[in-house]
Amino acid sequence: MPAHVRSGDTVIVTAGSDKGRTGTVLKVIPKKSQVVVQGLNTRTKHLKPSQTNPQGGVITKEMPIHISNVSPVVDGRATRVRFTVKPDGSKVRVAARGGQELGAVHGPRDGAAAKPARAAQTKTTKKKTTKKKAASKSAKKAPAKPAKKASTRTSKKKTAKK
């Protein structure tokens, strides 16, 4: 499922220590459902001197924010995002507040009008089953006979010690 924000969007933070602040999305991390917003959620990091940075020092770095804690900005206010499919088959993100188009998810699809016809056709056809599947279905329907229990007691011979 596509995310409601993309890199380059202007977003507002809706929860957390930076609540109410706005910024531009620099990076989207879909595997962790996080975004990095320019100038927000900054942390200071102390660097040891190294070959690449001989002086070392203290840097400030933007850290990721969970994607559910940001919303796109339309007219200075946060908005939810709807996904609509146009008649040509392209899918776009639309702001729920005002209906402004936020960007395209994908372009026009070939044969967009042919999809409903194919879907209706597949619903009417019956599935064919093979002999193996039919045999396994009939085996599942028949009740299994309970197996006889083996005796749990075993005889132990006592040996006399001499």
Tens of pLDDT, residue by residue over 67-104, are: 999 999 998 899 998 888 888 888 888 888 888 778 77
Contact (Cβ atoms closer than 8 angstroms) between residue 21 and residue 37: no
Residue 20 lies in a domain: yes
Tens of pLDDT, residue by residue over 3-55, are: 788 888 899 999 999 999 999 999 999 999 999 999 999 999 999 999 988 99
Residue 90 lies in a domain: yes
Whether 151 shows a pLDDT value over 80: the answer reads no
pTM above 0.75, yes or no: no
- What is the average pLDDT score of the chain? 79
Structural domain of 62: 10-47+54-111
Q: Cα(14)–Cα(6) distance, rounded to whole angstroms?
A: 17
Residue 127 lies in a domain: no
Residue 155 lies in a domain: no
Residue 96 lies in a domain: yes
Q: Smallest Cα–Cα separation from 30: which of 60, 61, 2?
A: 2
Residue 82 lies in a domain: yes
Q: What's the whole-number mean pLDDT along residues 135-159?
A: 62
Q: Cα(123)–Cα(119) distance, rounded to whole angstroms?
A: 7
Contact (Cβ atoms closer than 8 angstroms) between residue 35 and residue 67: yes
Residue 31 lies in a domain: yes
Q: Cα(39)–Cα(33) distance, rounded to whole angstroms?
A: 19
How many domains does one find in the chain? Answer: 1
Q: Cα(43)–Cα(68) distance, rounded to whole angstroms?
A: 20
Q: What is the CATH number of the domain that holds 86?
A: 2.30.30.30
Residue 33 lies in a domain: yes
